[in-house]
Structure 1
Amino acid sequence: MNQQIVYNLEEFATKYNLKDIYGAYAAHISITGEESGHLSDIDVSKSEDNTFYNMMAERTLFTKLFLVKQGNCRLNILVANTRQELVLAANDFLIATPQETAGIKETSHDFKAESILVDESFAKQAQRYQLNDVKYKSIYDIFHFVRDIVRHQHINKMEMIRSMFNVLKLIIDELPYEQCSVSHDLGHKKEVYEVFLHHLYRHFRKERQIRFYADKLNVSAPYISRLVKEISGSTVYDHVSSLIYKEICNLLTQTDMTMGEIADQLSFSDQSAMTNFFKQRSGMTPLAYRNR
């Protein structure tokens, strides 16, 4: 049985005749369902041109980044030895790591996307984000900056490209905390849980309801309730209550705030409600805890 070749970026570019490439480090590709406008573009509307389909199935040593401009593309991607189906649509951003291969099932006739191939790590496993207009524009601009830097002569070309990727990594780091659009069908439950914790730490003083955090994560309340219990063994309410209790203890010992001020700070209906909450967990009143 023939062993599948694992390509570095230079070998890959040679095989597929990519033009917008810098050494074995970075390359840019435009993918379109219409007539190509540049030599490095891939026209997926031509039945005899299976380049894009073949490229996705190759084993590589580099990361593939995809930004969908319009239309849609259905693919199967192999993540952690499990084949999962994805449908990429406009404003979707996909990170495919070197370990992952994909099989393109179909593309719409109006499908257009930008791709960056880069010998850098951007994620531990495949991730998909649905970008808002601002983030889409930011990533789109970076893709084109990289393309233009690759195409033209620059004394500090490598440094310029790396600076673009550093900015891109910072933007990617922000994405889960803004909207949690990490694809659920890629099984990133731990990442969703981490984003839940991020929102919880920011909002627990004001927000107690599961619905609030579910909305932040763009998922249903039952889903986030099951996921948190599955990952941590504790309920969402347990997480919220634990943080509130610890914050009361902290405010009692580290500040001279009154009981009423602490109750207001932590959005209790009144001082009595906070006292009852605290006493159930500590066995003493907040004042007794402060005066220990």
Structure 2
Amino acid sequence: MKAKKEEDIKTYDSKGFRDKFFESENTISHFFKSNSEHFFCLKIEDINQLKDTIPPSKHICHTLVFITSGVHKMKVGFEEYTTESNEMIIIPAGQIFSIKSIDKETTGIICQFHQEILIGKYGNREMLNDFEFLKIWGNPHVSFQNREAEFILNLLSRLHIEYSETGCINLDIIQPYIITLLSEINKNSIKTNKNITAATTLTTKFKELIYTHIKTQHQVSYYASILNVTPNHLNKSIKSVTGKSPTKWIDETILLEAKYLLYQTNLTINEIAIQVGHYDQSYFSRIFKKHEGVTPIEYRKMIDKS
């Protein structure tokens, strides 16, 4: 039993999938290792030769994936989104995402940037509040009409040229283009979400709170008190908008954070349990296995053998 316990909590230093992935020069590793200015802009077709699977992960930068043809599937948070021509999927900084693969027939542009680029020379921190889709609890999927899609593609194409041909990061060019790009996205995002109900607003605030407090607060009553509603009212509102109860959202957020930590860090199982607010490693492992069908250590081994 003691040997099993030590195996469960040890740090993995062997060259498994995670280590090899982060050391690789694969183009898709740009999702994690952008340059020192935290910006890149690539054509999706340039990374189509890769078959890498990306388990739950996150980045300090915002990522925009605009599709011009084909179908692209990505899981952002708990939800899987299918993105087609003239549509964009947005991965906010700090949001957990995963990819099964990138289809060879899909074309488009991927752009990643740090929020400091928005501040830089022409912006300010207040500007960050103007773009709801860049927040973890915002709507990550935006569709465009043909005319608006042309605007988006032109802006991304200019950023791609700047990134791929100049060999340097010129913020005098990049920052204005990104601000304009986000403003164009915002117009369409607002159109998509113009019919906002009280339940939708409450759901958005709830999502914001659980992402902020998930490491310490797991009770629905806590979030209801912060939002000045009863637990029953919160439950009905969240279920009416998302189809899932607040408890389900809390459990999935805990598991998602745990899976990200199992993949993208070398923390021990015990350390990961503490990170997600479970100070009893055995209880955390039982809960993880109940939902995922495998223990945390088995999940990590599955990734390392991929």
Q: TM-score range by the shorter chain?
A: 0.3 to 0.5
* TM-score, reference length from structure 1: 0.47
Q: More strand by proportion, 1 or 2?
A: 1
Q: More helix by proportion, 1 or 2?
A: 2
* TM-score, reference length from structure 2: 0.45
Identify which of structures 1 and 2 has the higher relative contact order when contacts are C-alpha pairs closer than 8 Å and 6+ apart: 2
